[in-house]
Amino acid sequence: MSEEKRFAVLIDADNVSRKYIKAILEEVSNFGVATYKRIYGDWTKNNGWKDALLENSILPIQQYSYTTGKNATDSAMIIDAMDILYSGRVEGFCLVSSDSDFTRLAARLREAGMYVIGMGENKTPNAFRMACNIFRILEVISGEQDTEAGKPQSQEKDAVTSVSAIEDNICKIIMENSNQGKTTQIGEIGSKLNLLYPDFDVRNYGYSKLTTFLKEQCKRVVLSQHKSNIVLTLKEQEDDIVKSVLQFLQDNGGEIDNMGQVNDKLIRDFPGFNAKNYGYNKFSSFIKSLPDVEIVNSTGIRLKKGAKKTVPGSRH
């Protein structure tokens, strides 16, 4: 088992509330261990941070506010981040701020091979979000922002990526894999969505699991269990395949002696077709799943008695 990634957690106290501290550290623990925990601000002010820092063993770095209206913590955080980078003692950084001024720092750390987690409030500019490997919204991970289960939160100022954009990209991934004869598993979808949208997190939409989010929000996608894996397919394509099987049977008097002929036809009509793409080890298992078709003498198939004599249209 590989060792956990070591992270430097650097927090901008001028742009983050102390109420998020526990949630920040808990979220980082999902990715590795926080070996550096530093927070930057003017601690000469009575800002109420003392208890939160002591409870979580976070080192406060003093940064005087030399000029009114200027965020003096930026330069201190950036200098420390580069010092830590060159020390070679971490594999990743967690930058906590709602300020876009850290966009270039996040990009520079990634150029150096660091894994960068960004965290900030809903108001965090998109530029900073996209500069990180992943981005987490503080209101969401802390549970402060309540979302009705099963429904996306308000997307004011593009706070989160739209469900329609996510679904479009999932369909594209499935189609590309299908054309190459590959299955699409849920792990691949989760990884690719994080690459496409660093701020993608199912909790943004009121869900705790990716599978539930996909089932309830992505209506063009079908999820099926394949051994220990969950396989994704396109509902429209699956409907068209069923339609093709039924039409082929009807064209041949309702029965075919060798189901291999049906498999060959599907491969011709749908390049890259493979029963495994739909969660089945064998083509015969896929055929058994069709409601109006039954297997005869192990190798043949026919329309069931009472099956519709007309081919159903695609469901949308």
pLDDT tens for 239-289 read 888 888 888 888 888 888 888 888 888 888 876 677 876 767 788 888 888
Contact 222, 233 (CB under 8 A): yes
- The CATH number corresponding to 5-145 among 3.30.460.80, 3.40.50.970, 3.40.109.10, 3.40.50.1010 equals 3.40.50.1010
Q: Where in the chain is the domain with CATH 3.30.420.610?
A: 162-316
Give the mean pLDDT of 10-27: 93
**pTM for this predicted structure:** 0.72
Tens of pLDDT along 139-169?
Answer: 999 987 654 443 444 444 445 788 999 999 9
Give the mean pLDDT of 85-97: 96
Tens of pLDDT along 31-71?
Answer: 999 999 999 988 877 667 888 889 999 999 988 765 544 46
Tens of pLDDT along 219-252?
Answer: 889 888 877 888 888 887 778 888 888 888 888 8
Q: What contacts 24+ positions apart, CB below 8 Å, involve 54-63?
A: 56/21, 56/22, 56/25, 58/9, 58/11, 58/21
3-class secondary structure per residue, 90-151: CCEEEEECCCHHHHHHHHHHHHCCCEEEEEECCCCCHHHHHHCCEEEEHHHHCCCCCCCCCC
Q: Where in the chain is the domain with CATH 3.40.50.1010?
A: 5-145
CATH of the domain spanning 162-316 = 3.30.420.610
